[in-house]
Amino acid sequence: MSAAWRLVVLLWAAAFLNSAGRQILITVLPQVRAEFGLTATQLALINSVGFWVYAVCALIFGRLGDSTRRSRLIVAGLMFWAIATGMVSLSTGFITLIVVRGLVAAGEGTYYPTAAALISDWHRSGTRSRALAIHQTGVFAGAGVGAVTAGALADAFGWRSPFLIFGIIALVFCAVLFMWLREAPAPPSHNAAVSVAGNNEPLRTVLQRPAALMLCLVFFLANGAVCGIIVWAPTFLHDELGLDLAASALYGSATLSAAGIICVPLAGFLAHRLAAHTPLAVFYVLAIGLALAGLLLLPLTLATSAFAVGAVLFASGAGKGLFDGVIYAAMHDVVPPSARATAVGLMTLVGFCGAGLAPIGVAQASERIGMAAAMTSLAVLYLAAAVLLIATRGSTRRTILETREFEDGRR
């Protein structure tokens, strides 16, 4: 195995742990609610604060990832995240849950923008979409396995146990990353990037590219939709259908994850094949995925069994998986190498603001129209994002060609 693909394997495992840990609180919400007597809005707020802290930290550490050793930032962030995850088990109420969830999110924020940029450092445009798509499957695998495992542990030992166990596992893995994770042998030339960007400040470079800002808005809509579903689907199944936590996680979370595991690498393959015909290959895959995610979510209001709910979530998740498989490759297509971690950080900031707002909106809407209808209404966000991608394809194509011309010349 080449060094470039060994890096993807290491970061896949890191993404798996990161995503698994994020899913724990969502899975054990019914037990947390019962112990502390929290309302639906308070439960949503705990997750939303985590999303918002993650959003801000992703931008801050994404910018740092463009000016320091990316491999060491990833290891340090994962270590902080592991310790904070274990600390969640010490929570004593609503306020402490918010605080420790914020600490966990801060650790999470160090990872994804920097990891995606490090993968792009090792993989040129020919293998980039596939490498990033494979890495993204770790997110879905972690979410599915983490949800079911956390549910089983909580059913057996209480909701605090999975936080402690996952934190210890992540700390052990930090030692593996420290020994094996490496920078790319030929880091992108910062000075060369200046010639394209017109300045040497990564954030300014991103803000001057309309295609990058458009992707931020698309991510806001798509991430809001999926997080509104992810946060509430397990609790909906627990409350309405009487499932235990493990079964609720299986049908309400693992179905989405299974669809992602299948469709994320498919997205990378489709983008690679379409790239021979159009520079907009990844953007067309994004639009197709979002349109499918929205349309296939609509039958949710008709689902009356756990299997039916799981089937709808799997179908919609398949479309979202196509989107997730190439969204980071899309951003890297429209910004130069020296600003890629910052670009993903900004996109994450905007996207997870949407992720924080949607669960609160669903919680409040559910009081008037019911939880199933409230989650189904999120299809509108998916469809709006798909329309935005198609409407801006002309300007996006010009930006992609400009960025590729620079990158090919630099190499």
* Model pLDDT for residues 142-184, shown as the tens digit of each residue: 988 998 999 999 999 999 999 999 999 999 999 999 999 988 8
Q: 134 or 88, which is more confident? A: 88
The three-class DSSP label of residue 181 is: coil
**Residue 81, both tokens:** 């995240």
Q: CB neighbours (10 Å) of residue 401?
A: 12
pLDDT at 186: 58
d(CA 317, CA 155): 26
Average pLDDT over residues 117-146: 84
Burial class of 409 by CB neighbour count within 10 A (0 to 12, 13 to 18, 19+): exposed
The pLDDT-based confidence of 98 (bands split at 50, 70, 90) is very high
Q: Mean pLDDT across the chain, nearest whole number?
A: 89
Backbone angles phi, psi at 392, to 5 degrees: -105, 15
Is the pLDDT confidence value at 78 over 80? Answer: yes
Closest CA to 65 of 187, 228, 185, 198: 187
The three-class DSSP label of residue 137 is: helix
Closest CA to 144 of 264, 2, 300: 264
Q: What tens digit of pLDDT does each residue of 391-411 get?
A: 999 999 999 988 877 666 554
Domains and CATH numbers, the chain: 3-184+191-410 (1.20.1250.20)
Percent of the chain past pLDDT 90, that is, above it, reads 60
Burial class of 244 by CB neighbour count within 10 A (0 to 12, 13 to 18, 19+): middle
Average pLDDT over residues 38-66: 88
Q: What tens digit of pLDDT does each residue of 188-241 get?
A: 444 444 444 444 588 888 999 999 999 999 999 999 999 999 989 999 999 999
Alpha helices per DSSP H over 37-111 = 40-65, 70-87, 94-109
Angle between helices 70-87 and 40-65 (to 10 degrees): 160
Q: What tens digit of pLDDT does each residue of 190-205 get?
A: 444 444 444 458 888 8
Torsion sign (Cα): 106, 112, 115, 120: negative
Residues sharing a CB contact under 8 Å with residue 196, sequence separation 6 or more, in sequence order? 336, 402, 403, 406
pLDDT at 194: 40
**Residue 393, both tokens:** 């394809």
Percent of the chain past pLDDT 70, that is, above it, reads 94
**Residue 301, both tokens:** 């209001």
pLDDT at 300: 95
pLDDT at 365: 93
- Highest mean pLDDT pick, 35-49, 341-355, 370-384: 370-384
> pTM here?
0.77
pLDDT at 200: 55
Average pLDDT over residues 287-303: 96
d(CA 71, CA 88): 26
pLDDT at 220: 96
pLDDT at 337: 81
End-to-end CA distance of the chain: 23
d(CA 136, CA 123): 15
